[in-house]
Amino acid sequence: MHTLSSPPPGAWRFAKMHGAGNDFVVLDAVSQPIELTPELARRLADRHFGIGADQILIVENPMHPEADFRYRIFNADGGEVEHCGNGARCFARFVREQGLSRRNPLRAEICTGLLTLTLEDSGEVSVDMGQVSFEPGSLPFDPDGLASRRQGDATIWQLPLDGLPTVEFAALAISNPHAVLIVDDVATAPVGTLGPAITHHPRFANEVNTGFLQVVDRHNARLRVYERGAGETLACGTGACAAAITGIRMGLLDSPVKVQTRGGCLTIAWNETGLRMSGPATTVFQGWIDPHALVRPTEFKDIAA
């Protein structure tokens, strides 16, 4: 019998966290040995047979000499990805709460570069989000032969979809790939149909996160995001950055932009000094998980002939 005070040998200590409702299992691979495979990430994220999360974050020792830590991100489907804005804020809170570092600001290495993260006196966490690219190849996105138009500084692509209306979107990378559509009302936007149709479209070789942006006024927007590898989440930090930048480039928004998601509000500032996102990061509970217990049974095993 294992109890909370005597976890099974080989169990991993974890925290369950969220940033504006985008939820994470966060693992500390600095002070315990963890071999996280894509399959184990998928099982941890399973909402019925695991802990349940949109993404799994694993904190490791850095390889870059200027970084305090490295952290890696796995989507709920097990795919490892480049960046996660809400995850970055939770990473900074986790490092402080677990006693791994009291440094503020922190420097974190992700697979595409270094991020600077600050625990603010207000309780929020701010992140300098790194590079933004509007080059289609950086997503990658293949626009060959597609119609497009310019609005302000943004290129708006027109993509015909099988059995659905043609959609218009801006494409950009916040290290990870985003397509942003403007909608009149996020509450009625067809996120469940257009989201997967765009996210899995073959023109996005590595798939894409699809954002539905409603401009409220020049400093306020609403957003829903159908995420690659996770489906619709309650918030997407890189998606909020992509949406704010798209609105600014289209001449519809001015920095800073408050982006209201279904799970909370994120503030995005984008100017000559860079891209900065601020928002909440919350620990919900902590515990131990035995990775060997993460087995998903075959459905109807007993009656399969």
Ligand X SMILES: N[C@@H](CCC[C@H](N)C(=O)O)C(=O)O
* Binding interface with ligand X (CB under 6 A): 22, 54-55, 75, 81, 84-87, 176, 209, 227-230, 233, 236-239
* Smallest separation, CB 200 to ligand X (Å): 12
- Per the annotation, binding residues are 22, 55, 75, 85-86, 176, 209, 227-228, 237-238
* Smallest separation, CB 54 to ligand X (Å): 6
Of residues 7 and 78, the one with the C-beta less far from ligand X? 78
**CA distance linking residue 165 with residue 203, whole number of Å:** 17
CA distances from 298 to 153, 158, 240, 304 (A): 51, 42, 38, 10
Of residues 195 and 247, the one with the C-beta less far from ligand X? 195
- Per the annotation, binding residues for substrate are 22, 55, 75, 85-86, 176, 209, 227-228, 237-238
Residue 241 designated active-site: no
| Distance from chain centroid for Cα 206 | 15
Q: Is the Cβ–Cβ distance between 260 and 222 less than 8 Å?
A: yes
* Smallest separation, CB 177 to ligand X (Å): 7
Residue 265 designated active-site: no
Of residues 173 and 182, the one with the C-beta less far from ligand X? 173
**CA distance linking residue 299 with residue 152, whole number of Å:** 52
CA neighbor of 281 nearest in space, from 93, 45, 119: 93
**Which of the residues 84, 111, 241, 265 is marked catalytic?**
84
Contacts of 303 (CB under 8 A, 6+ apart): none
Of residues 112 and 193, the one with the C-beta less far from ligand X? 112
Q: Is the Cβ–Cβ distance between 214 and 185 less than 8 Å?
A: yes
- Written as six digits, the tokens of 223 are 């957003």
* Smallest separation, CB 232 to ligand X (Å): 11
Catalytic residues: 84, 236
